[in-house]
Amino acid sequence: MSDETRNSADNPGVIAPPPLIYAGALAAGLLANRLRPIPFLPPAVGRILGPSLIIGGALIGILGFREMRRAGTNVDPYKPSTAIVEEGPYRYTRNPLYLGMTLIHIGVSALANALPPILLLPIVLAVMRRGVIEREERYLERKFGDEYLSYKTRVRRWI
């Protein structure tokens, strides 16, 4: 697909579904840990921190998903966006779904007391930034112009 075709499509042209990016890295890290366990937390800390992060991440993600549905826009990045969502967690972060997945990734790693998935997280975040978030931002700027640019200046990308 040429850059012109990609830029004219009514979607951001992300490289892969974000849940797949997170799940793939998490699974690879957990598998690597199974083959060569590398704990990084005292077990009691992992048992407390892990579920807390998983629940917090799921809650942020669910609230973000709910606000997108409430605004009538698509959650699927391969479909057109129909609105800028600024309510709920979108008042604090432009990417609550990705923030939620990041917290879940850390939480599962803590609960499993597995260092390899934590070591893969910076790669996940780099892939998300270049292959998903920056593409979504360019798309939203093209589609919504000043409305999105104004939102972008008020709300941080992450937190």
Beta strands in 48-158 (DSSP E): none
Rg of the chain (C-alpha set) = 17
pLDDT in tens, the chain (159 residues): 444 444 458 999 999 999 999 999 999 999 999 999 999 999 999 999 999 999 999 999 999 999 999 999 999 999 999 999 999 999 999 999 999 999 999 999 999 999 999 999 999 999 999 999 999 999 999 999 999 999 999 999 998
pTM of the predicted structure, to 2 decimals: 0.92
Q: How do the domains of the chain map onto residue ranges?
A: 17-154
Report which of 159, 153, 112, 102 is spatially closest to residue 132, judged by C-alpha positions: 102
Q: How far is Cα 49 from Cα 155, in angstroms, rounded to an integer? A: 27
Report which of 87, 85, 83 is spatially closest to residue 143, judged by C-alpha positions: 83
Q: How far is Cα 36 from Cα 31, in angstroms, rounded to an integer? A: 9
